[in-house]
Amino acid sequence: MKTRITEMFGIEHPIIQGGMHYVGFAEMAAAVSNAGGLGIITGLTLGTPEKLADEIAKCKDMTDKPFGVNLTFLPTVNAPDYPGLVKAIIDGGVKVVETAGNNPQQVLPFFKDAGVKVIHKCTSVRHSLKAQSIGCDAVSVDGFECGGHPGEDDIPNMILLPRAADELEIPFVASGGMADGRSLVASLAMGAEGMNMGTRFIATKEAPVHENVKKAIVAASELDTRLVMRPLRNTERVMTNDAVEELLQIEKEKGADLKFEDIIEQVAGVYPRIMTEGDMDAGAWSCGMVAGLIDDIPTCKELIDRIMAEADEIISQRLARFQGA
């Protein structure tokens, strides 16, 4: 399937694996890229330019296909070495970067000069237009269904994607609620040039996370996520567990007086315990509503092949029947 996104990134299928904390390591990215999609290494999980450079080199040993790096710009007191991370990406020969969080304008000239394509993660049409205006090559439009940070507008993809198509000139992919061939065809119908999957890729054989995490996603329904940190205007969609329910209770009790410090135990530094050790009640971890559509743990190749076969069947048979009616 050829779209503006497959052409831009030099990939076979219009499927991107989103950057995910403590998931986006070389083995994950390589498995997705080898299956014809675009795998993504999560830069901030590695933390330092040296570790990121090593992970990029490791990924290059595992695939000869294009892969990208996610670089999330966070408002933080102890900022990562962003210039060093940018240099590691460029020196490593990576040609696609997924930026997220704050405006990536300061790093765009470096990526442009090195021939790196930048796709920025956005949760609204206005942010997408801003990304276009500063020179991003593409955007990933995240609907309210998505795991992680859905923004504060609460617009689901049935509205957000057509709105983005109405306004944008650069290509975009749909993110949030994406799981199968139906997701891909629906995204294309609403104007996207492909889709980005996060939660669905965690429940794969190659995902370098504890088996408990994969089983939790398979067992979950679409009703098992919660929105946390709303009072702080830093909303995150997470899988419910004991720590999350405790966090929500603290938010309720504190009300408008809530500070980040009140919930730090439930949200800070919990990812290694969850993703690596499989302690499913250690704290809040990002998960999309799409968990309700996930009921198996295939390899990345099996998943992507299945999605493309299903999409082809929907387009060439099911939709074609309506046209001939």
Is the pLDDT at 122 greater than 80, yes or no?
Answer: yes
- The per-residue pLDDT of the chain, averaged, comes to 97
**What is the mean pLDDT of the segment spanning 204-230?**
98
Angle formed by the axes of helices 300-313 and 26-34, to 10°?
40
| pLDDT tens-digit series, residues 5-62 | 999 999 999 999 999 999 999 999 999 999 999 999 999 999 999 999 999 999 999 9
How many domains, the chain?
Answer: 1
In the three-class reduction of DSSP (H, G, I as helix; E, B as strand; rest coil), residue 4 is classed as helix
CB 120 within 8 A of CB 103: no
| pLDDT tens-digit series, residues 97-115 | 999 999 999 999 999 999 9
In the three-class reduction of DSSP (H, G, I as helix; E, B as strand; rest coil), residue 311 is classed as helix
- Residue 299 lies inside a defined structural domain of this protein: no
Q: Cα(226)–Cα(158) distance, rounded to whole angstroms? A: 20
* pLDDT confidence of residue 78: 82
Domain CATH number, residue 167: 3.20.20.70
251 pLDDT band (50/70/90 cuts)? very high
Is the pLDDT at 92 greater than 80, yes or no?
Answer: yes
CB atoms within 10 A of CB 58: 15
- Residue 306 lies inside a defined structural domain of this protein: no
In the three-class reduction of DSSP (H, G, I as helix; E, B as strand; rest coil), residue 197 is classed as strand
- Residue 197 lies inside a defined structural domain of this protein: yes
Is the pLDDT at 323 greater than 90, yes or no?
Answer: no
* pLDDT confidence of residue 75: 76
* HSE-up of residue 255 (Cα within 13 Å, Cβ side): 1
Supply the DSSP string of 238-300, one letter for each residue. EE--HHHHHHHHHHHHHGGG--GGGGHHHHSS-HIIIIIT--TTSS--B--GGGGG------H
- Residue 324 lies inside a defined structural domain of this protein: no
Please name which of 284, 258, 280 lies closest in space to residue 269, comparing C-alpha atoms: 284
Per the structure, the complete domain to which residue 156 belongs is given by: 4-208
- Residue 226 lies inside a defined structural domain of this protein: no
- Residue 132 lies inside a defined structural domain of this protein: yes
Is the pLDDT at 247 greater than 90, yes or no?
Answer: yes
Tokens found for residue 34: 């080898």
* pLDDT confidence of residue 325: 62
- Residue 83 lies inside a defined structural domain of this protein: yes
